[in-house]
Chains A and B, each alone.
Chain A
Amino acid sequence: MAHAATHDHHDDHHGAPTNFFTRWCMSTNHKDIGTLYLIFSLAAFFVGGSFAMVIRAELFKPGMQLVQPYFFNEMTTMHALVMIFGAIMPAFVGLGNWMIPLMIGAPDMALPRMNNLSFWILPFAFALLLSTLFMPGGSPAGGWTMYPPLSLQTGSLAYAVFAIHLMGISSIMGAINIIATILNMRAPGMDLLKMPVFVWSWLITAFLLIAVMPVLAGAVTMLLTDKYFGTSFFNAAGGGDPVLYQHIFWFFGHPEVYIMILPAFGIISEIVPTFARKPIFGYKAMVFAIAAIAFLSFIVWAHHMFAVGLPLGAEIFFMYATMLISVPTGIKVFNWVSTMWGGSMTFETPMLFAIAFIILFTIGGFSGLMLALVPADFQYHDTYFVVAHFHYVLVTGAAFAIMAATYYWLPKWTGHMYSETWGKVHFWSSVISVNVLFFPQHFLGLAGMPRRIPDYNVAFANFNMISSIGGFWFGASQLIFLGVIIHAVWFSKKKATDRVWEGAKGLEWTVPSPAPFHTFELPPVIRDEELAHGHVED
Chain B
Amino acid sequence: MTSGGIRPDGIKPAFFKRAAMAAAAVAGALFTGMALANPKPGQLNMTRGVTEWSSEPYFLNNVALGVCVVIGVLVFGAMFIAMFRFRKSRGAVAEKWSHNTMLEIVWTTIPVIILIVLAYLATGGLTSFADTTGSQMTVKVTGYQWKWRYDYVDYQGKAIDKVGFMSKLDDQSNDTRQLGSGLDPNAVKADGEQTYLLDVDKPLVVPVDTKIRFVITADDVIHSWWVPALGWKIDAIPGIVNAAWANIKTPGTYRGQCAELCGQDHGFMPIVVKAVSKEDFAKWLAEQQKPAAAAPAADASAGASASATAPAAPTKG
Contact = CB atoms under 8 A, between A and B. Distances in A.
B88 A346 contact: yes
Contacts of B220: 149
A378 B233 contact: yes
Given A326-B115, A359-B79, A375 B94 contact: no
Interface in B233-270: 233-235, 237-240, 242-243, 256-268
Q: How extensive is the interface on chain B, given as a class?
A: 35 or more
A277 B260 CA distance: 49
Contacts of B242: 308-309
Nearest to A363: B72
B108 A331 contact: yes
Contacts of A369: 64, 68, 118
Contacts of B93: 344
Given A236-B240, A446-B45, A446-B46, A70 B94 contact: no
B264 A382 contact: no
B238 A379 contact: no
A369 B87 CA distance: 33
Interface stretch (B7-15, B126-134, B283-291): B126-134
A64 B226 contact: no
A278 B96 contact: yes
Interface in A369-402: 369-370, 373-376, 378-379, 381-383
A342 interface: yes
Contacts of A94: none
B279 interface: no
B57 A281 contact: no
B72 A326 contact: no
A373 B261 contact: no
Nearest to B244: A309
Overall SS of chain B's interface = mixed
Given A312-B127, A374-B126, A538 B115 contact: no
Contacts of B118: 323, 369, 373
B196 A457 contact: yes
Contact of B82 (A69, A142, A337): A337
B100 A338 contact: yes
Interface stretch (A3-11, A408-416, A447-455): A447-455
Contacts of B195: 457
Contact of A319 (B103, B126, B222, B262): B126
Given A308-B237, A458-B185, A62 B232 contact: no
B259 A345 contact: no
A515 to B, nearest CB: 27
A251 B95 CA distance: 44
B18 to A, nearest CB: 21
Given A340-B83, A375-B57, A277 B65 contact: no
A538 B99 contact: yes
Contact of A64 (B86, B177, B261): B177
Contacts of A307: 224, 232-235, 259
A237 interface: yes
A280 B197 contact: no
Given A277-B94, A334-B107, A342 B86 contact: yes
B306 interface: no
A483 interface: no
A150 B262 CA distance: 6
A162 interface: no
A153 B263 contact: yes
Interface string B70-87: 011001101100110011
Contacts of B89: 346
B194 A457 contact: yes
B197 A337 contact: no
B56 interface: yes
A538 B99 CA distance: 8
B104 A282 contact: yes
B305 interface: no
Given A340-B83, A453-B267, A278 B94 contact: yes
A93 to B, nearest CB: 30
Contact of B86 (A343, A452, A461): A343
A447 B41 CA distance: 9
Interface string B193-222: 011111000000000000000000000111
A319 B64 contact: no
30 contacts: A63-B177, A73-B266, A149-B222, A149-B238, A150-B222, A236-B239, A236-B240, A242-B238, A243-B240, A281-B100, A324-B115, A327-B112, A337-B79, A341-B86, A343-B94, A344-B93, A345-B88, A355-B79, A362-B72, A373-B64, A375-B56, A375-B126, A375-B129, A376-B57, A379-B231, A446-B45, A448-B228, A453-B267, A455-B267, A458-B185
Given A62-B196, A237-B238, A344-B86, 14 more contacts: A63-B176, A153-B221, A276-B86, A308-B237, A308-B242, A334-B104, A344-B92, A345-B92, A369-B64, A375-B126, A447-B45, A448-B228, A455-B177, A455-B267
Interface of A: 62-70, 73, 141-143, 147, 149-150, 153, 236-237, 241-243, 276-283, 285, 307-309, 312, 315-316, 319-320, 323-324, 326-327, 330-331, 333-334, 337-347, 355, 358-359, 362-363, 366-367, 369-370, 373-376, 378-379, 381-383, 443, 446-450, 452-463, 503, 538
5 closest pairs, A vs B, by CB? A236-B239, A453-B267, A309-B242, A375-B125, A366-B68
